[in-house]
């Protein structure tokens, strides 16, 4: 996963976050867990547009495909050795690596696809995924109990991540991680990032956690049951069964389950606190308050007329109001654990998907509110046009990158205010049309 933008539903969906909270990977200080990607193991790629390549091509990159890759490997080895990788590990791991054109093709093709949050959630939290989540919890009940006790993360959340990342281990990815990362590092678009991941992958081999042959994952290098990228593995994976290896790749999911809980614990998980709860917003609501920078207690929100859709809300601490599809869609009161889940993937849709799936696995109610179902997801061109037009009108979007991050949402709000529209920050097709007129 990368923080960016990834996730996992079995169908290769992609979606761009609409909310103010959508960080971009590059802006996040959190370690990426997974690489943005779309493949069978990783359903969703939220905002998959990587930065434009700015590196000067090396000698290796001026030659195409496999010959170039081999030359690149020769150049790479001393850099890897300088970072502590034994030459023998390098030689063995890279000996038979060849260029994988399919990966580059996928890397180039991921940016155009988008999905609305309601389409995403219909797959992410399908009846089948809920049912399979309950079954997975039952099948591995003892492990989940032990992991929850040790790391303080409720088992339903860990199961939900597992469910979204690999359909509970069904789609863990079968591409060679070393080959994928070598190809992507050589290719150069985000080359520095992938070279760092390749070195981390080689460290994992050097540690003896697994073999190059068994180190498989998504085409973009996300590995195992919960799709850790190598740097996140090094930082957070644990050997839960005590066999001396941190094995997130094998059929036995226990190390992966524990590693995922360890990861969330590291980022500050608060047991007993929800990710968020669905709320009902009064007509009189000041939409400028639905902003991640504004936090109030549930009681303070109640004083403003915001009530829990499924019952009263306990005081779980400071909360913000999130409207992932504007004033005509579902609204959520979100707590600290929402931000913890963002460490896995910053897209609102992903976090809501994990949170809601965990609620449903636990037997909670479905999201009650509707969504603006008539709205199509914005295309990349529409998103860029919108940013260009907002910027031209004096509402700074911090560049034209097609990503709807906090700056763009704030620009949308400012434009809505200036036009006398409801300032919900929602980048709808109607708003784009209005700008284009």
The CB-of-259 to Ca ion minimum distance in angstroms stands at 10
Closer residue to Ca ion (CB): 119 or 241: 241
The CB-of-143 to Ca ion minimum distance in angstroms stands at 12
209 binds Ca ion (CB under 5 A): no
243 binds Ca ion (CB under 5 A): yes
Closer residue to Ca ion (CB): 76 or 240: 240
The CB-of-258 to Ca ion minimum distance in angstroms stands at 9
Report the distance separating Cα 430 and Cα 73, nearest Å.
Answer: 50
255 binds Ca ion (CB under 5 A): yes
Look at the block and give the residue holding tokens 């696809």. 113
The CB-of-139 to Ca ion minimum distance in angstroms stands at 19
Closer residue to Ca ion (CB): 232 or 382: 232
Closer residue to Ca ion (CB): 247 or 359: 247
Closer residue to Ca ion (CB): 249 or 269: 249
72-101 footprint of Ca ion as x/- string (CB under 5 A): ------------------------------
Closer residue to Ca ion (CB): 256 or 390: 256
Closer residue to Ca ion (CB): 7 or 237: 237
For 312, how many CA atoms within 13 A lie in the half-sphere containing its CB? 5
The CB-of-243 to Ca ion minimum distance in angstroms stands at 4
The CB-of-156 to Ca ion minimum distance in angstroms stands at 23
Closer residue to Ca ion (CB): 127 or 243: 243
Residue with the closest Cβ to Ca ion?
A: 239
For 378, how many CA atoms within 13 A lie in the half-sphere containing its CB? 25
CA distances from 345 to 17, 134, 339, 363, 412 (A): 11, 23, 10, 24, 23
Interacting stretch for Ca ion, rule CB under 5 A, among 212-220, 244-252, 276-284, 292-300? 244-252
Interacting stretch for Ca ion, rule CB under 5 A, among 103-111, 176-184, 250-258, 263-271? 250-258
Interacting stretch for Ca ion, rule CB under 5 A, among 95-103, 215-223, 232-240, 356-364? 232-240
Interacting stretch for Ca ion, rule CB under 5 A, among 110-118, 247-255, 340-348, 362-370? 247-255
Closer residue to Ca ion (CB): 255 or 348: 255
**What number of chain residues touch Ca ion (CB under 5 A)?**
6
Interacting stretch for Ca ion, rule CB under 5 A, among 40-48, 241-249, 308-316, 400-408? 241-249
List residues near Ca ion by CB under 5 A: 239, 241, 243, 245, 247, 255
């Amino acid at each position: 996963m990368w923080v960016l933008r990834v996730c996992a539903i079995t169908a290769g969906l992609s979606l761009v976050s609409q909310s103010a909270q959508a960080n971009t990977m590059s802006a996040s200080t959190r370690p990426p867990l997974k690489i943005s990607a779309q493949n069978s193991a990783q359903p969703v790629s939220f905002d998959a547009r990587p930065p434009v390549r700015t590196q000067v091509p090396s000698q290796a990159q001026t030659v195409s495909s496999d010959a170039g890759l081999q030359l690149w490997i020769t150049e790479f080895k001393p850099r890897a050795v300088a970072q502590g990788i034994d030459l023998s590990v390098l030689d063995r791991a890279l000996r038979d690596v060849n260029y994988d054109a399919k990966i580059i093709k996928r890397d180039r093709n991921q940016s155009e696809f988008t999905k609305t949050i309601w389409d995403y959630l219909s797959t992410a939290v399908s009846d089948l995924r809920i049912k399979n989540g309950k079954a997975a919890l039952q099948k591995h009940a003892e492990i989940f109990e032990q992991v929850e006790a040790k790391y303080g993360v409720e088992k339903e959340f860990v199961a939900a991540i597992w469910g979204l990342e690999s359909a509970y281990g069904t789609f863990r990815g079968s591409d060679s991680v070393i080959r994928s990362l070598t190809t992507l590092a050589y290719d150069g678009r985000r080359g520095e990032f992938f070279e760092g991941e390749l070195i981390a992958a080689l460290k994992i081999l050097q540690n003896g956690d697994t073999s190059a042959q068994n180190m498989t994952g998504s085409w973009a290098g996300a590995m195992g049951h919960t799709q850790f990228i190598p740097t996140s593995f090094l930082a957070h994976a644990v050997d839960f069964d005590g066999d001396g290896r941190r094995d997130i790749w094998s059929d036995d999911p226990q190390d992966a389950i524990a590693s995922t809980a360890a990861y969330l614990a590291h980022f500050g998980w608060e047991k007993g606190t929800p990710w968020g709860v669905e709320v009902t917003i009064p007509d009189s609501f000041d939409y400028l308050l639905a902003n991640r920078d504004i936090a109030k207690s549930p009681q303070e929100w109640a004083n403003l007329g915001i009530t829990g859709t499924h019952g009263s809300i306990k005081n779980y601490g400071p909360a913000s109001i999130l409207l992932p599809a504007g004033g005509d869609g579902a609204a959520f009161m979100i707590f600290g654990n929402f931000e913890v889940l963002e460490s896995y993937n910053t897209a609102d849709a992903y976090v809501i998907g994990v949170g809601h799936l965990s609620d449903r696995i636990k037997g909670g109610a479905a999201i009650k509110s509707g969504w603006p179902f008539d709205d199509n997801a914005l295309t990349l061109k529409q998103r860029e046009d919108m940013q260009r037009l907002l910027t031209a009108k004096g509402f700074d979007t911090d560049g034209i990158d097609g990503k709807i991050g906090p700056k763009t949402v704030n620009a949308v709000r400012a434009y809505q205010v200036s036009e006398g529209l409801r300032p919900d920050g929602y980048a709808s097709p109607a708003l784009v049309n209005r700008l284009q007129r």
